[in-house]
């Protein structure tokens, strides 16, 4: 039977012979707070889960085993992979790192405009492509990559660069995004909001901002990484 995270915390605490008060002191919380977590009366956040894991001397990944709940699981997987990658870089050979990189490849599914918007056909099924980029620390299962065309994002992004897009990540103002409009256009721009409007701005001053209503947009996904070409 699957166990709740609160139940697992309680089991680890009892296994160590600790009282609720002792665990509370170790994580800087009150006994009442710990009791609420253990009895599933309060939701546990990812940062707090890491605090509990450190106090109980286990990996945060321990709490993903046979649990009903996976709070902020995308963020948790990302952090675990970052830790794993740092260990691999420190102790493994170049050949080992190459093998690990092949474990997570992001499909390059099309091009996106960094200039005038281009028409965009429906994407391939998730994970399908003839071209891939390696990104072992990207945990979004729906992540995909697009190749930049145009110069509106110069010098931030150049023609031919590849951007990795994570649909499950939250869009943030002042950050690059890829937007698909109802006209079938896809463009890469800096994202901001003005009331109920979406403002898409180029980095290159030769291109004016574009203002869209939410009804004109099918999706807005964050660009989380760029792979640049220098030659």
Q: How far is CA 139 from the centre of its chain?
A: 6
- Give 138 or 153, the one with higher predicted confidence: 153
User: Quick one: pLDDT band at residue 204, thresholds 50, 70, 90?
Assistant: very high
Contact between 214 and 200 (Cβ < 8 Å): no
Domains defined for the chain, CATH in brackets: 5-72 (1.10.260.40), 105-227 (2.10.109.10)
Taking phi over 0 as left and psi of -120 to 50 as alpha, with beta for the rest, 28 belongs to left
Does residue 50 register a pLDDT over 90?
no
User: Quick one: pLDDT band at residue 2, thresholds 50, 70, 90?
Assistant: very low
**pTM of the prediction?**
0.53
* pLDDT tens, residue by residue, 77-127: 556 666 666 666 676 676 665 655 555 678 887 666 555 444 444 444 444
């Amino acid at each position: 039977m699957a166990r709740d995270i609160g139940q697992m915390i309680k089991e680890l605490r009892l296994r160590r012979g600790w009282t609720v008060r002792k665990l509370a002191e170790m994580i800087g919380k009150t006994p009442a707070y710990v009791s609420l977590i253990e009895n599933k009366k309060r939701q546990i956040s990812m940062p707090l889960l890491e605090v509990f894991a450190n106090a109980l001397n286990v990996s945060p990944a321990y709490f993903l085993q046979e649990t009903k709940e996976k709070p902020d699981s995308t963020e948790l997987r990302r952090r675990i992979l970052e830790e794993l990658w740092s260990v691999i870089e420190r102790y493994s050979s170049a050949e080992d790192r190459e093998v690990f990189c092949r474990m997570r490849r992001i499909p390059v599914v099309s091009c996106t405009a960094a200039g005038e918007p281009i028409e965009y056909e429906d994407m391939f099924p998730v994970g399908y492509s003839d071209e891939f980029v390696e990104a072992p620390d990207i945990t979004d299962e729906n992540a995909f990559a697009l190749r930049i065309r145009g110069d509106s994002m110069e010098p931030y992004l150049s023609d031919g660069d590849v951007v990795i897009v994570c649909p499950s990540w939250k869009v943030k103002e002042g950050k690059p995004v890829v937007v698909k409009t109802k006209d079938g256009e896809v463009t890469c721009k800096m994202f901001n909001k003005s009331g109920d409007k979406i403002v898409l701005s180029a980095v290159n001053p030769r291109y004016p901002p574009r203002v869209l209503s939410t009804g004109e947009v099918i999706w807005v996904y964050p660009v989380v990484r760029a792979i640049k070409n220098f030659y």
